[in-house]
A and B are shown apart, each in its own frame.
Chain A
């Protein structure tokens, strides 16, 4: 059925498969048709009219992002009529857009700003005609400023189609139109999982991450405080993009050096506690596999997913591993084990984590996350915030020499590093489970069958006679399919399931750099797998610091102290599916 069609764009002939849009065909000719509401992660919408082109024979200008090509179609993308229409559209958008670019979170990374620049808009002939809205600061993770919203609907579509949460809607009409949660409520007052994907797909500064960098800098400048920082696996393959690097470039050493220059007292690795998570989770899984109780077991380190499960599937929480996420395990150990080892008063520790994730900001404030007797993790900064912090501290990322993590909780295995990819937690767990069950060395350490970006993946893994069926889902729409399957009695016979809230996993979390590269997920994913390959230590149970933790402190995975510090319970949080 892949019929080809030939058309003419700007007097050049191009042949593309039928069904391709004018926008796609033009790309092939090296013609960049500007867009605003269009994004590769969501279906075309033709809402903003920035991409209008002349299609000969059509009654009016057509939207290139959604107009399918036909044989013999003649298109002009740069005629005077098109140029005038496009510029008018952008001018009208700018008329209602606050002129706060210099102080906006998205300054120099804003698609509207770029459009105005690219199209050469030099004056705005129109006056603001829309009402002024209240900025929504109710969410623990996100800030929503409807005044900056260009009504492109990307967040509406992503949240509904990919995440199946439909937090946002278009409300009202005409000049009063607004993208909002139901009943004009705040984001913190509705069933939002805090995945933060809306802040990544927003072309402008209408949805941004709650900025905690100043709080962290205040802690750093307080001589009484010892500021300990942990860095999540996926940050190391994305942070470089904020300094001009390619997606997936591994910048671990530079990041560590940068954090030290910024003034953090100890720079440690979440990969270490990812390994601890595996020790606990693999133990828990093998225990459940033996007893058959609460199977299948779901593993995840994704707090957006946890929120989703608690809100939409509270009756299935017993299927979830009780193991905390690596961030929270780190937090609990930092103010207990680490404080003891380093002879630091835990009251003086400020525990900061650098995460790809917006939901982590909420996770660290959950009341049950105080196993150390203090709030285990004090502040969470997203990758994007870290980029800003490092820049504000004068860290010259291109010049800085790589440094190593500090000892004790600073060594992570390759299994820990791949946590950032969808399927990574599963693969890491299988590397350890295989060797625990079979008492043999794993013949092939990479589990190719469970890698990739397909939304829902299944495989059967043979642990020398013990066959286990695993499933991996990423994106909450796929998570919903998994949960509905479990609800229907688990007809697929799954034993072990990994879920990540964000499509791609943490590498493309809500707090990660905003990329215009259509393959950015695959590139960051390749970066983490490369990071794993470069390490000699690739299995969690072989991590010497993890062994020391169990020998000296926890004694055994799943033991009494582990349960006190490293495990948690789930409940339906304050957010309800519907309003009260």
Chain B
């Protein structure tokens, strides 16, 4: 039962034209590259975009849904502008990463896997990011933030508010 709860927001389908143009020469097998490019464009795969891809590539929408739900890389729900990965690895765990995650949850008002209503942040957990010396640690996009303290979380998030 795939997640069909998508936020109702305008999707500019004309952005797909460039995607289709890029893969126009591929007779077959262009579905996955097209899906990847579409996801790069929108940050996720909006329903309307998938319908357009189905018509353009003449692949039944059901089969596209099958592909999208098979591969972990594809997302049917929008992600925030910034993706926060809160590390729950062993080193972070003993340095009380649970409290960091609690602070993130209460500051953002979402659970892990969730996205804030303003689509600014998506909160995820990660098993280890290999920066144990900085534990407890989190990544925001490509930035690592280490030696965290729960009370510093709001300030860090503020610096990403644009």
Given contacts A182-B61, A183-B2, A579-B61, contact A172 B51 (CB under 8 A): no
Q: A168: nearest residue on chain B (CB-CB)? A: B62
- B65 at interface by CB-CB < 8 Å: yes
Is the Cβ of A182 less than 8 Å from the Cβ of B1? Answer: no
- A170 at interface by CB-CB < 8 Å: yes
Contacting residues, chain B, for A171 (C-beta < 8 A)? 2, 65-66, 69-70
- A309 at interface by CB-CB < 8 Å: no
Contacting residues, chain B, for A167 (C-beta < 8 A)? 62
How far, in whole Å, are A133 and B2 apart by their CA atoms in the complex?
Answer: 11
Distance between A490 CB and nearest chain B CB, rounded to angstroms: 23
What number of residue pairs across chains A and B have CB atoms under 8 A from each other? Answer: 54
**Which residues of A170-197 have CB atoms within 8 Å of chain B's CB atoms?**
170-173, 178, 180-185, 190
Distance between B115 CB and nearest chain A CB, rounded to angstroms: 19
Distance between B50 CB and nearest chain A CB, rounded to angstroms: 8
Q: For chain B, which range describes its interface: under 10, 10 to 19, 20 to 34, or 35 or more residues?
A: 10 to 19
Query: What 0/1 pattern do residues 55 to 93 of B give for CB contact below 8 A with A?
Result: 100001111111001100000100000000000000000
- B161 at interface by CB-CB < 8 Å: no
Is the Cβ of B51 less than 8 Å from the Cβ of A579? Answer: yes
How far, in whole Å, are A173 and B3 apart by their CA atoms in the complex?
Answer: 14
Contacting residues, chain A, for B4 (C-beta < 8 A)? 183-185
Q: A185: nearest residue on chain B (CB-CB)? A: B4
- B132 at interface by CB-CB < 8 Å: no
Contacting residues, chain B, for A180 (C-beta < 8 A)? 1-2
- B54 at interface by CB-CB < 8 Å: yes
Q: A183: nearest residue on chain B (CB-CB)? A: B4
How far, in whole Å, are A172 and B63 apart by their CA atoms in the complex?
Answer: 12
Is the Cβ of B1 less than 8 Å from the Cβ of A184? Answer: yes
- A575 at interface by CB-CB < 8 Å: no
How far, in whole Å, are A180 and B1 apart by their CA atoms in the complex?
Answer: 8
Interface of B is mostly: helix
Distance between B32 CB and nearest chain A CB, rounded to angstroms: 15
Given contacts A133-B1, A172-B70, A184-B2, contact A166 B47 (CB under 8 A): no
Given contacts A133-B1, A184-B2, contact A169 B47 (CB under 8 A): no
Q: A136: nearest residue on chain B (CB-CB)? A: B1
- A40 at interface by CB-CB < 8 Å: no
Q: B63: nearest residue on chain A (CB-CB)? A: A169
Is the Cβ of A172 less than 8 Å from the Cβ of B69? Answer: yes
Pick from B1, B47, B76: contact of A178, CB under 8 Å? B1
Is the Cβ of A578 less than 8 Å from the Cβ of B70? Answer: no
Distance between B92 CB and nearest chain A CB, rounded to angstroms: 27
**Which residues of B1-22 have CB atoms within 8 Å of chain A's CB atoms?**
1-4
Is the Cβ of A578 less than 8 Å from the Cβ of B65? Answer: no
Contacting residues, chain A, for B55 (C-beta < 8 A)? 578
**Most A CB atoms within 10 A — which of B4, B47, B66, B70?**
B66
How far, in whole Å, are A180 and B3 apart by their CA atoms in the complex?
Answer: 13
Pick from B1, B51, B69: contact of A578, CB under 8 Å? B51
How far, in whole Å, are A133 and B1 apart by their CA atoms in the complex?
Answer: 8
Distance between B44 CB and nearest chain A CB, rounded to angstroms: 14
Is the Cβ of B60 less than 8 Å from the Cβ of A183? Answer: no
How far, in whole Å, are A167 and B62 apart by their CA atoms in the complex?
Answer: 6
How far, in whole Å, are A114 and B70 apart by their CA atoms in the complex?
Answer: 32
Q: B68: nearest residue on chain A (CB-CB)? A: A171
- A468 at interface by CB-CB < 8 Å: no
Q: A191: nearest residue on chain B (CB-CB)? A: B61
**Which residues of A256-271 have CB atoms within 8 Å of chain B's CB atoms?**
none
Pick from B51, B61, B64, B70: contact of A173, CB under 8 Å? B70
Given contacts A172-B2, A578-B54, contact A182 B62 (CB under 8 A): yes
Is the Cβ of B62 less than 8 Å from the Cβ of A169? Answer: yes
The interface of chain B, by Cβ under 8 A from chain A, is 1-4, 47, 51, 54-55, 60-66, 69-70, 76
10 sampled A-B residue pairs with Cβ under 8 A: A169-B63, A170-B70, A172-B69, A172-B70, A173-B70, A180-B1, A183-B47, A183-B65, A184-B1, A579-B51
Q: Told that A170-B70, A182-B60 touch, could you supply 10 new A-B pairs with CB distance under 8 A?
A: A134-B1, A166-B63, A169-B62, A169-B63, A169-B66, A172-B2, A182-B65, A183-B4, A183-B65, A183-B76
